[in-house]
Structure 1
Amino acid sequence: MREGPAAWALGVLCALLLTGCQSPAGPAGDGPGGTASASGRPGGSTASRPASAAVPPSGFGKVFLAVGECGSFGTVGSTEVPCGSERAAARVVARRDGRASDGPPCPATTDFVLHISEQRPAADEDGDGAVPQGYACMRKLQPPHPGDPGEGGGPRTIVGDCVHDTGDGKVRETACDGTDEREPRFKVVDAVADRADCPASTGLYVRLGGARPVGCARPL
């Protein structure tokens, strides 16, 4: 896709970031949930106490923000730009159609998620007059990477992440090094299929989703 007035009549791309908001550990869910601020910090997660692969650079293609392509950050949303451009801020590591809440989760170390609103402009990159609703899983081109284990952000809670108890049966992800406002209280040390598979040192169960949906978290 080329930059120009006609090509960029795609409309505004909503840059709503998703969090690692999780529900109680149990059967795996299909998609990420919750919302986050522009910093990528996650929202609350429910929990219960016990009873980066390299992506080759890419130019513009037929799909708006396809895998390997890059987006810019803006005050309202993001636009597709060449990955070598000084405006490039993050690369697409996975691209899905439909709603993020209904689709498969992003890769584990995704930094944030872009929601792409359906658009039907007068002209678009492949000439069919439409950009379907979807979402793009984004990885920042430069650190820090909030989606990395222990960094306290990203749309998913993964092994290596730390959380603190919010006091209402939920937990919120926070940086393991204590640099966030809230001190970490538990660290997810393993992901298993069932609670019974967690080690004896487990002090909290956190829902992770995926094939191994139960996160075994030990007290810190």
Structure 2
Amino acid sequence: MRRHIGNGIAGLAAILLIAICAVGFAPLNAEAAAMGNYLMLKGGIYSPSKTFNLDNVDIETTFDSNTETGIAGEIAIGHYVLPTLALEFGVGYFNGKGTLQPRTSAVIQHADFDVIPVLLTAKAFIPAGAIFPYGEIGVGAYFTKFDVTDNANTFEGDMTLGMHAGAGINVNLSQKAFLGLEGRYVWANPSFGDQQIRLNDTEYALNGFELNGFTTMLALGFSF
């Protein structure tokens, strides 16, 4: 099942990249050229929608687990290829934390994960005067680190492809500056190879961990 999911994500990523390249090489009209480029500085929160789900660990019957909201941020550069379509490249960061507690033990293990996403996003705008609502879809490469307290190891994940989709709104402050609000949902399943985690005196494969969740960010943008 995971192989099919991974192949599906890779296929969707390839389709998006081909579409972006096709649009990118299309002639720009004068209005799009006048709009040019923009830089966005984003900051907000990451809200996981999944609990920890490790292979060979029956979370429902063996462990009480939860995940908690963390911080999120991104620096992005965008380019208008059409007056209502922009391509955006961004590098970000988000983190989260949670707990794993064996139901047969009073010991609570705290877990933290840090993620650096490298993102490519297509945004479709609906101009309405100084207000620009938009929808977005994109792909990303996610680099993940996973730490568990009272555990001797820090786990580094392999680069994993993922997808994201969302919506937002930009409001012009001037001809060169704007404010934005963006909501996005992320789908990504990190791979940790053959690394194992020790829980309740038992070794488990560190797979099945999901980054799926929402990022909600405010943004300050500059056109150039």
Greater strand content? 2
Determine which structure has greater relative contact order: mean sequence separation of CA pairs < 8 Å that are 6+ residues apart, divided by chain length.
1
Query: If the TM-score is normalised by the length of the shorter chain, which range does it land in?
Result: under 0.3
Q: Look at both structures and tell me which one has the larger radius of gyration over its CA atoms.
A: 2
Greater helix content? 2
TM-score, structure 1 normalization: 0.27
